[in-house]
Every structure is written in structure tokens, then in C-alpha cells.
Structure 1
Amino acid sequence: MKGAFLIVKGHVEGLGERGDAMIRVENLVKEYKTKKGIIIGVDHVNVTIEKGEVFGIVGYSGAGKSSFIRCLNLLETPSNGEIYIDGVGLTSLSKQELRAARLKIGMIFQHFYLISAKTVAENIAFALKAANHPRKEINDRVHELLEMVGLADKAEVYPAQLSGGQKQRVGIARALANNPSVLLCDEATSALDPSTTKSILKLLKKINKELGITIVLITHEMEVVKEICDRVAVMQDGKFVEEGPVYEVFAHPQEELTKHFISSVLQFDLPAAIVEHCAGTIVKIQFKGAVAGEGVISDMLQQFNVKGNFLHGKIEYIQDIPLGIFIMELQGSSSAVADAISYLEKRTEQVEVIRDAA
């Protein structure tokens, strides 16, 4: 089977000792010494990432995302704490053992870092040559990887002749060369246009599903998290301030920072002019899961003596599960509107009265 040799060659003693956790981070701290004093990049972070999971880390520039992800393969040496990758404690390894362990940790970058003087095939082969694989096996693996990332016809092309999306595909192929268990993505789509970003995320999702590779992805875009991640952590000032399954974080954000990020995907601010022209009660209704496909609002309008006017609405599919949010005006007697809202509260996930006509 093509590529199977890489799994053997890249084996590190002790892999798989700690059950289903692919990545376990304990009390991770990263400090930087500057002329102005010590700056904390990562501040006592603890997290467990399961095998086969796509784990997103979202935050603004300076939040500590890049410092955290670069500590996972010890490109940055932690100031304190422990990092386990598939049961192997990286911080206790010798230099030789760390080189072997890194074969199982692929990484792709925002700016690609391809060697301009080498062809696409040579860029991918570089990682295999560094791991001392025979030429014949290298050629077979390069061909396999080019097919996987959709660049089979670009083997002899140089990076300057590629688009940004094609360059990132080369970067992904290079990161997968040694059959890693973990793929680290450092702002992998930030330099790409929206259409290309979607194609790269689709490729990463395919890689995750077909190869079972655990992916850790950092970004400042919640749209990226929505598209591909299973769980997400929101990072601020070196800390994980909120963490959980992507759907639950979207449906029930706890921190103001998280709510701000989600608002970039689920934007529901009504213009003041619209609100001023509404005479009735304005409510925001959230539908979660299967309820989003039910006729809750039509049932409510039929059962109670109220009129409904839709002002805004959207259904997003997160991990193929619908999350619907609608804003509407309810007109009728105060008692009928109150009964209608009570009914909605029983049938839906959440009802918020934005403005009470009373």
C-alpha cells in the first residue's frame, strides 16, 4: 500500500499510551523576555484534543494563538507545562527523539514558505528526503500526495507560477508527506480570498475524514470555525476564555468576546429606522436542532390572536445541524402577545424580547 512505509519509518516509541487523547496540554506557559520586561504569550492553558478531532482556536492578533500552536511541536520552547502528542511527552525528549516525534506532526503556514528554486514535486519531496526515505518511495509518495491535493498536473511547476490556493495545497501536501497523526494549521487561509478559503477548508475536511488526522487550526475568522471545526476555544490575553463544541458555542456563547466573534457570522442588528416604525413587540427567537425545521411560528400564529411581521431571519448549518435565529414583530393585545411568547418559549430554544410594545 502506497505511503504505508512512512507510518513505520515515522513511528515513535510510546505512541498511543494515553487512550483517545491525541493532544494533551497541561499548564502551558510561554513567556518572552523583552527590553521592557516579560511578555506572556500563553498563560497556563490546559486542553485535551481527541483523536480525529478538528479543534479550532479563534482570537484577535496578539491573543497568543500562534505562540500556542508553535509550542505544540516545540518550534517554541514552553516556559512551563507539559505537551503530550499521542501519549509522548515532547518536553522530555532528546533532540533526536524530538526529530522523530515531529515526523508525526505536520504544519502548514499562512505564507506557505515554499522553496522558490524547487519545483512543486521537489518541495514536497524535501520533507521525505529529510526523513531519509529511498528515492523510489519518495517519488511514489509525491505522486500520491499531488493526486490527493488536486495538483497532479503541477509536479514540474515552480511556486511563482501558482496561485495562492495552489501554493497552500503544496504546503498541505508537504505537511502530509510523512503521514502525520496531527496537522497544525497556523492561519492557513488568512492570505486567501473567500472562494479559495472554502476550497482549502473542504480539502482539510476531506483529509480529516479520510485519513483520520487530528487537526488544530488557528484563525481570527469565526466563519472558518463554523465550516470545519468540531470544537473551538476562544483565546484572549494568552488564555482560553471559552471552549466547547462548535454548535453549543454558537448557540450559547458565554463571553462577550465570543458573542462578538459569532456576530460576524450571525449578524442580527436591526436598523434603528426599522425598530422605530414597528408598533408591536419585537422578539428574537432561536431554533436549535430539529426544532428549526418545525412550523413553530406558523403554529403560534394560528393558535393565538396575534399578527406576525418578519424583520430578519437566518438558518445556519453547523456540523450539518440547523441553528435558526429570527426577529419578528408581534401585534395584538398584551395578553395575546404574552401568551404567544410563552408558547414560543416552550417550543424553542430561546426567546428574547428586544422591545416590548407595552
Structure 2
Amino acid sequence: MIEIVNVTKRYKQLTAVDHVNLSIRQGEIFGIIGYSGAGKSTLLRCLNLLEKPTQGIIVIDGKELTALSDQEVRKERQKIGMIFQHFHLISSKTVYDNIAFSLKAAGKTKAEIKKRVPELLEMVGLSDRSAHYPAQLSGGQKQRVGIARALANEPKVLLCDEATSALDPTTTKSILQLLKKINKTLGITIVLITHEMEVVQNVCHRVAVMENGQVVELADVYDMFANPQTALSKQFVQTVHSLELPERLLLGRKGAIVQITFKGDSAEEAVISETLRQFHISVNILHGQISYIQERPLGTLIIEMIGSQSDVRQAIRYITKRTNQLEVLADVA
């Protein structure tokens, strides 16, 4: 659906996007995460040529946008919806007219607009706010108007630039649920820029991590949480799944301290109880949590294993075989 080939964007001496290559599949929600200044928003704006790449190729739905004339690009943009962090609504226009504005710009007739706007309002849950002005809306409602406006011309791609960053957690959750619903019911490909790993966890299928204008890691979201490969990815994962223990919990321990990651089926199996039955050890649970990512369980457990060196090491080998992911944080005392 979207091919980003060797895309670079420079502003004089500053390279905001540096030779990025990505392939985004039809119908997926693709996340791009990074800290401020990583180049993620610039890359997003390159996709609809609001920012023209200094070099590289952008292909969307089989058309090479970077090879089109300005007039042709404007026509193709109608197939690419975009929503923004700060909504960008017209304060002097009602909710109805804000949505109708993009339809008028696309040359739709009054009859087409009259039919389409109520459909969009119902889709985003604002049928009762048609005559309201932006100043009369909450932040979440404003973003719903922005989403309706972005969907007005039935785009094949929806670009979301920090769409939930200005919203409170409860409203963020409702907006993410709406995006998931839109993706599922309409099959629209969504590219979502964020600096919040919780957003990625909740809605994305795959994610690219950006730093200094480059993609430093690309993975299925579940795999990213289960086994991040770079230091930056680990930082982002730990903002959602903190694995740091207070130092006092590590003082005076008598056994081996291990961290076990349970993925897929192993997260639902009685691995620890079976270990205790087979080996003469005792266990202190120091930390534990389980999450569901893309409806698949992912669990983390940090335990102290107490027993003879032989029994502890046999137990470690057994758990490693069952889970494929065990790290010894401290050796047997």
C-alpha cells in the first residue's frame, strides 16, 4: 500500500529524515514512535507531500507521488486523510460546516454533502453536535470532528500526527477505540505518529522506532514488547512495562534472581508450579505482570530461586526450555 524508498528530508544543514525505507501493508495500523526531534512527524508529512522529500520515492496505492505534478499531487491528497494533534478546526464554522468544508474543496455537490456529512457524524458519535461550534466542544469531540473531516472523501490512507497527545487518558482511549473501529470496518490503512508506547500497544499492528531521522528498529508490536532489540526500544517498552525493582528488594537475597518472559501459550501454562514439583527449590515472587497485546498474552515474572546450586541450575534450564526467554539478573549466592 505505502512504499517509502530511501527518503531523506534536509533543511539546510539539518537532516530531519535520513534515508528511510519502509513498506506499510494494506489495512494495517502502522505506528512510528520516537522522541521529539526524531523526524517522525516530518516523515509523516512527506507521505502526502506536505513536505517534499529532498530525495527518495513515495508510492501510495501504486502511484509514485514524488513523480507527480503539483496539480496531480493535490488530487491524490484527497485519497489521504490527515488528523492533527491540535485539531485545526475552523472556529467560525459549525461542526457540520467544518466537515462539509473538505467535501466542498473536493468539488462535491450540495446533495452529496447533505448526504455524506450526517453519515460521518454518526460514524464518529457526534450526530447531536452538528450545529455546535468548536469552542463548545471538548478536546475529544474536536478530535472526532477532525477524524470525520479526514474521512469525508473516503480516503484509502489516514495519517495521524500525535492525534491523542493533547487529550487526557480516558479520552485518548476512546479515540484509539474509534480508530480501531474505522480500520476494521472501512479497511483504511492508518499511519500513526506518537511518542507514547501505550498508544502503540493499544492499536498498532507493527511499529517503527525512529532516532535522529533514521529507523532503528522495525517489528510486529507483540515482538517489540516481548523482545526489543535496541536500547531505545527497551526504553519505550519500559514506559509501559516497568521492570525496575527497588534496591531494597535485592538486598540480602540468598538465591538466584531471574527474569522470565512468558509469550503466547507459555503465558497460560503452569510453568512455575511444574518447576516446583520437579525440583527441590523454593521461590519468592519479586515482580509480576501480564498484558494482552493484539489479544495475545505477554507476561513478565522476576523471582528469587532458593535451593542447592544444582537444583537451581536445573530449574533454570527447565524454565528456559519451556519459555525460551529467561535472564539471570543475579547469580546464586
CA distance in 2, matches of 1:353, 1:90: 50
Give the aligned partner of residue 135 of structure 2.
160
Gaps of 5+ in 2: none
Selected match of 1:89 from 64, 68, 84: 64
* 1:183-222 superposed matches below 5 A: 183-222=158-197
Give the aligned partner of residue 16 of structure 1.
none
Report Cα offsets for 1:119-167 as digits up to 9, x if no partner. Answer: 0010000000001111111011110000000001000000001000000
What TM-score, normalized by structure 2, do the two folds share?
A: 0.99
Q: Are positions 1:300 and 2:275 aligned together?
A: yes
* 1:49-198 superposed matches below 5 A: 49-198=24-173
What TM-score, normalized by structure 1, do the two folds share?
A: 0.92
Selected match of 1:240 from 206, 210, 215: 215
Letter in 1 for 2:241: L
Report Cα offsets for 1:67-124 as digits up to 9, x if no partner. Answer: 0000000000110001001011111112221111001000000000000000001000
Letter in 2 for 1:220: H
CA distance in 1, matches of 2:324, 2:113: 54
Letter in 2 for 1:41: A
Q: Are positions 1:291 and 2:266 aligned together?
A: yes
3-state SS, counterpart of residue 122 of structure 2:
helix
Letter in 2 for 1:132: G
Report Cα offsets for 1:330-355 as digits up to 9, x if no partner. Answer: 11111111111111011013111111
* Alpha-carbon offset, residue 357 of structure 1: 2.5
CA distance in 2, matches of 1:253, 1:217: 20
CA distance in 2, matches of 1:356, 1:200: 46
Report Cα offsets for 1:150-204 as digits up to 9, x if no partner. Answer: 0010000000010000000000000000000000000000000111111000000
* 1:316-355 superposed matches below 5 A: 316-355=291-330
CA distance in 1, matches of 2:247, 2:71: 63
CA distance in 1, matches of 2:127, 2:254: 62
* Alpha-carbon offset, residue 249 of structure 1: 1.3
CA distance in 2, matches of 1:25, 1:51: 14
Selected match of 2:10 from 18, 24, 31: 31
CA distance in 2, matches of 1:99, 1:268: 48
Letter in 2 for 1:266: H
Number of aligned residue pairs: 333
Selected match of 2:243 from 268, 272, 277: 268
Give the aligned partner of residue 257 of structure 2.
282
Give the aligned partner of residue 228 of structure 1.
203
3-state SS, counterpart of residue 264 of structure 1:
helix
CA distance in 2, matches of 1:327, 1:178: 51
CA distance in 2, matches of 1:166, 1:349: 45
CA distance in 2, matches of 1:95, 1:275: 63
3-state SS, counterpart of residue 103 of structure 1:
helix
Gaps of 5+ in 1: 1-21
CA distance in 2, matches of 1:234, 1:72: 17
CA distance in 2, matches of 1:332, 1:279: 9
3-state SS, counterpart of residue 98 of structure 2:
helix
Give the aligned partner of residue 8 of structure 1.
none
The percentage of counterpart residues that share the same residue type is 63
Report Cα offsets for 1:214-237 as digits up to 9, x if no partner. Answer: 000010011100000010000000
168-177 vs 87-96, which deviates more?
A: 87-96
* Alpha-carbon offset, residue 278 of structure 1: 2.4
Report Cα offsets for 1:283-308 as digits up to 9, x if no partner. Answer: 10011101100000110011110001
CA RMSD of aligned residues (A): 0.7
CA distance in 1, matches of 2:300, 2:249: 18
Selected match of 2:22 from 43, 47, 55: 47
Give the aligned partner of residue 231 of structure 2.
256
